[in-house]
Structure 1
Amino acid sequence: MLTTFNSVIYLLFAVLALGSLAPLSSHPHWFIRGWDYPRVQIVLIAIVAAVAFFAVNSFGAEPPAISWKSITVLAVAIAAWHLFRIVPYTFVAPTQATAWDPPQSSGVSAEQRRFRMLVTNVEMENGQFEQWSRVVEQTDADVVIAAEIDGRWTSTLEKLKPIFPHQIIYPQDNWYGMAMLSRLPILESEIRFRVQDDVPSIDAMIELPSGEAIRVIGVHPRPPEPIRDNDATARDAELVLWGKELAEDDRPIVIGGDLNDVAWSPSTRLFLRLSQLLDPRRGRGFYNSFHADHVWMRFPLDHVFHSTHFAIRELKRMEHVGSDHFPILIDLQYQPVLKDEQRPLEEKASDEEEAEEKLRRAAESEEINTVSAFFPARTPSIT
């Protein structure tokens, strides 16, 4: 019995070690990229497995085939490897995005430069329309980015017009429909198809009460996942294209949505270095948004990134809305004086080469329609 138990522990550590090293490969296969997600879970499993190994073998008459010291070293190495990536998203790390300091605001009223945005993947099959609407109304958001909008959801969005009179709705029945609801005027907008012609993004200019305009973008790239045997090629290419484009835009920018990627993955960090945007999660917490129904399998998949023009008033995960994703609310203060004071992630010499490799791989993929940053926009439903 003890031998069997130890064999299971040895096999478990072998799997954890190999899985931990897998993301070092740039291969886009879902099995490789999937190991980017459960870093917190791997740390906990390694610690629990090591403790169980020590506890069980302390009563054994025969010494284990692998020494306690070796198991300890392996468990510490695995935990340290993953903690290196996830600690920046905990309270022990410094924040990247500056917290709002009211005394710094001057001139235009601070409330007129405030911007609240809710990012929500409604889950296309979700039928709890009233619950979702109630939570949305409670957030007092200025803009709502909603992913997985299909025809069933359009009437629910229409009912919110008294609160959000400006609406861009592009319903689809493939889990990639999208909508942008706004209580603030939408000055201009377009539907963008960056990589695949059935995966839209919404790109809009929103006017704040102060009269200043900010660029707001909603995204939902296709994930790497085993059920449909999708790899990460499309998602990574889309993030690269957005990163390169936004780096050339000096206007205030907020981009959010279900990225189908964790905050600490190589792809998301490359996007942040390319775009020079800020991640408000860094130094504040994980804000795990998926899976809403399974505590043991939660990851930060729904994101909001913003330019250095903004300070953070609040970042919050909202309550369950019937979806497999929790909504994420961000409360920003447009404060242009911070533009040259906040520090995005430092660019690496290899970033351009890595970005081009991801675009080249996408261009060669039979599953991808285009990787043109200027793919023709389609006419959205603006109501």
Structure 2
Amino acid sequence: MTKHSFFRKKPGVVGLLSAAGTVATIASIAGLAGQLSWVLDLASHFRVQYFVTLVVVATALVATRSYRLAGLFSAMALLNLVLVLQLYMGTPSEPGSQGRPLSAMLINVHSSNTDHAAVLAGIKRHDPDFVLIQEVNQRWSEALNAIKDRYPHVVSKPREDNFGMVLLSKDAPLDSNILDVGNIGVPTILAKFALDGRAFFILGTHTLPPVGSEYARMRDRHLAEIPRVTAGLDAPVVVLGDLNTSPWSYHFRKLIRESGLRDASRGHGVQTTWPTHLFPMLIPIDHCLYSSGIKILDKEIGGRNGSDHYPVIVDFSLLGPQPD
């Protein structure tokens, strides 16, 4: 029996394929209207999954000679592919002389994670200049004392919920503050540094997860306030954090548009970070954004460390005036 005749004798297979393709199509379109509803915005995060599903469905429908449906689902797969490919396109380079390379690491440790050794080993292996650690409670704060000799400078706001935060650095900050961006009630760390005569900021922030309409509104307000914070800074800034949104979300794109910040993922592709225990549903929600005056040299995702998030490691340098 040929493959084509198998499918012709199994009309239920075509129905199942059509149903899967229809769901992926509806979700693909819904994700474009995230400004209308937090539920629609949730649909924006799974572009890679929609693309894979639609390609598989369209290919199988070609085998059944259901060419119209295959064409429709292929078109929707192309829509998702275009959105995904944007992350593989780099941003234009900014002129200016580069300072020495620096690195920053973002780790959402998950407050209930007890594998301190794995997290500490990852930090030691990558040896970044700055480490922003999120979901830090008192137990995690004490565990981080093990690397205090390497990171003697600490800006700390531990909490027993999922929104404690610590910034570790090898060099002392000129200044540091704990902010409440958007009056949400969760801390944001802002620290100013000066290296080789060039000043810059590290801003670490963690939004609420959009698990309901109220939390979604607070997350959106938090994201909407970040441009106001960065606009008031007198030096370039690197923004690190679990933003609980993906690059395809309306609210993420609005943040980029209104702040003038750039997404460090551009040119590095889809680098998924959460949830580590559910591979087919992995999406990129842990981010590095940066302003003019910063050049991204590399961006990578770290390994497992007991958390439901993968770490993010970014290499960057400060840009100075072009030499005469």
TM-score of the aligned structures, taking structure 1 as reference length = 0.76
Please give the alpha-carbon distance, in whole angstroms, between the structure 1 residues aligned to 2:95 and 2:152.
29
Pair 1:20-2:60 in alignment:
no
Q: Relative to structure 2, which stretch is displaced further, 143-152 or 81-90? A: 81-90
Deviation (angstroms), 1:299: 1.3
CA–CA distance in 1 between the matches of 2:19 and 2:172? 58
Query: Which of 32, 42, 46 is the equivalent residue of 1:34?
Result: 42
Aligned residue for 1:327? Answer: 311
The one-letter code matched in structure 2 to 1:69 is Y
Q: Distance in 2 between matches of 1:175 and 1:83?
A: 34
How far residue 5 of structure 1 moved from its aligned partner, in angstroms, is 2.1
Which residue is 1:213 aligned to?
199
Residue matched to 2:5? none
Q: How much does 1:14 deviate?
A: 2.2
Higher strand share: 2
- Give the corresponding residue for 1:223: 209
**Following TM superposition, by how much is the alpha carbon of 1:100 offset from its aligned partner in structure 2, in angstroms?**
10
2:56 corresponds to? 48
The alignment partner of 2:54 has SS state of: helix
Please give the residue correspondences for 1:120-159 in structure 2 after superposition, counting only pairs within 5 Å: 120-159=107-146
1: distance between equivalents of 2:187 and 2:242?
12
The amino acid that maps onto 2:177 is: E
Give the count of matched residue pairs: 313
How far apart are the structure 1 equivalents of 2:183 and 2:238?
22
How far the C-alpha of 1:284 sits from its partner, in A, is 1.9
TM-score normalised by L of structure 2 = 0.89
Select which of 60, 85, 88 maps to 2:86.
88
Shift in Å, 1:297: 1.7
CA distance in 1, matches of 2:161, 2:183: 13
Which residue of structure 2 lines up, in the alignment, with residue 72 of structure 1?
A: 70
Taking only the aligned residue pairs, the percentage that are identical comes to 26
Q: Report matched runs for 1:176-215 at 5 Å.
A: 176-208=163-195, 210-215=196-201
Q: Note if contact 1:97-1:279 (Cα within 8 Å) is conserved in structure 2.
A: no
Q: Which amino acid counterpart does residue 78 of structure 1 have in structure 2?
A: M
Residues 197-243 of structure 1: per-residue CA shift (max 9 Å, x gap): 432111111232x1432111001101212xx6655211221111111
Query: Could you tell me how far apart the structure 2 residues matched to 1:251 and 1:195 are?
Result: 22
Question: In the aligned structure 1, how far is the partner of 2:42 from the partner of 2:116?
Answer: 31
- Aligned position for 1:341: none
Amino acid at match of 1:124: S
Letter in 2 for 1:22: A
Q: 1:318 maps to what in 2?
A: 302
- The CA distance in 1 between the partners of 2:279 and 2:243, in whole Å, is 20
Residue identity matched to 1:79: A
Contact 1:310 1:336 in 2 (8 A): no
SS of the equivalent of 1:335 reads strand
Deviation at residue 150 of structure 1 after TM alignment: 1.1
Change (3 A) 1:82 1:230: farther
Query: Separation in 2 of the partners of 1:332 and 1:100?
Result: 15
Match of 1:275 among 221, 241, 259: 259
- Flag the 1:337–1:212 CA change in 2: closer, same or farther, 3 A: closer
1:167 lines up with 2:165 in the alignment: no
In structure 1, stretches of 5+ residues that fail to align are: 59-67, 339-383
Which residue is 2:249 aligned to?
265
Q: For residues 24 and 34 of structure 1, what CA distance do their matches in structure 2 show?
A: 10
Question: How far, CA to CA, are the matches of 1:294 and 1:273 in structure 2?
Answer: 31
Tell me what 2:225 maps to.
Answer: 241
Is the 1:116–1:142 Cα contact (8 Å) retained in structure 2?
yes
Contact kept, 8 Å, 1:247 with 1:276, in 2: the verdict is no
The answer on whether the counterparts of 1:144 and 1:180 sit within 8 Å (CA) in structure 2 is yes
Q: In 1, are the aligned partners of 2:184 and 2:222 still within 8 Å (CA)?
A: no
Aligned partners of 1:119 and 1:329 also within 8 Å = yes
Q: Which whole-Å CA distance do the structure 2 matches of 1:199 and 1:171 have between them?
A: 11
Shift of 1:46: 0.6
Could you tell me how far apart the structure 2 residues matched to 1:270 and 1:152 are?
A: 36
User: Gapped runs of 5+ residues in structure 2?
Assistant: 1-8
2:275 aligned with 1:288? no
Equivalences for residues 335-350 of structure 1 within 5 A:
335-337=319-321
Render the CA deviation track for 1:73-95: whole Å, top value 9, x for unaligned: 211221122122211112xx3x1
The residue matched to 1:234 in structure 2 has which SS?
A: helix
